[in-house]
Amino acid sequence: MVSQEAIVFMAVSGAIAFLLPIGLIVWFRRKYGASLKVFFIGALTFFVFAQLLEGGVHVYVLQVNEMTKAAMQNPLWYGVYGCLMAGIFEECGRYIMMSIVLKRHDAWKDGLAFGTGHGGLEAILITGLSSISLIVYAIAINSGTFEQLLNNEDIKQVLLPIQEQLLHTHSYEWLLGGIERISAMAVQIGLSLLVLYAVKSRRPLFLLYSILLHALFNVPAVLYQKGIIEHAAAVEIIVALIAVISLYWIVKAKSLFR
């Protein structure tokens, strides 16, 4: 049985993923006049560069190409690859869209809106939708109908690990996904402002900084996936500390855009 507490925490994480970007853009629009257009361009940037382009590269490197697939079994190579790819695709995507599509939107408030859209769609796709599906599976397990879903071998291979995860994960860990989205949102806004400053000041070196910082932000999660960091809570503490630094930068960056 999946505990009711676990299901509640899944629901809370899902709610955070959906409501956080909506709440932030409403607040930024009312307080600073942030643009909805920039918000949606930020979301589109994540979808195109992270989901489609980066996702396509991952399929080739991790599944299709046998040589790179074997190389990625090494935790070091996998970690370097995973961290850098996210930084390269997402930050270069920001730079391209800000330089071409959003030429006239180079104010501090535009960085807030872009980062909220970018991080918001990430939160919805990674945490929001997965929380919904996990709740459905948890209810199916508790009601005894989950076994009916295992009607062929391919589906079994996909769903059995999910069942194991739902049955053996500590309840509080389901809340960490929502907490992580709060931290990630702060980082996404901070990185958006860093890239926007690179565009506005015509100093591409700041794009390199954003790529490296994005890669650094992903390191704790990669270490956890490979079992080097054993506790999910430790990852979230590290990520939260990075988010605090990002919030400091967001506030300080305002003076650079005046």
Measured distance CA(113)–CA(184) in Å, rounded? 15
Angle at 184 between CA 181 and CA 189, to 5 degrees: 125
Measured distance CA(10)–CA(31) in Å, rounded? 31
Span 65-124, pLDDT tens digits: 999 999 888 888 888 898 899 999 999 999 999 999 999 999 999 999 999 999 999 999
Q: Which bin fits 74, alpha (ψ -120 to 50), beta or left (φ > 0)? A: beta
Question: For the residues 184-197, what does the mean pLDDT come to?
Answer: 98
Q: What is the pLDDT of residue 93?
A: 97
pTM of the model: 0.94
8 Å CB contact between 247 and 123: no
Q: What is the pLDDT of residue 118?
A: 98
Angle at 207 between CA 205 and CA 211, to 5 degrees: 120
> Residue 138: which domain range?
4-257
Q: State the total domains in the chain.
A: 1
Is residue 150 very low, low, confident or very high in pLDDT (cuts 50, 70, 90)? confident
Q: For residue 176, what are its two tokens? A: 């960490």
Question: What is the CB neighbour count within 10 angstroms for residue 56?
Answer: 10
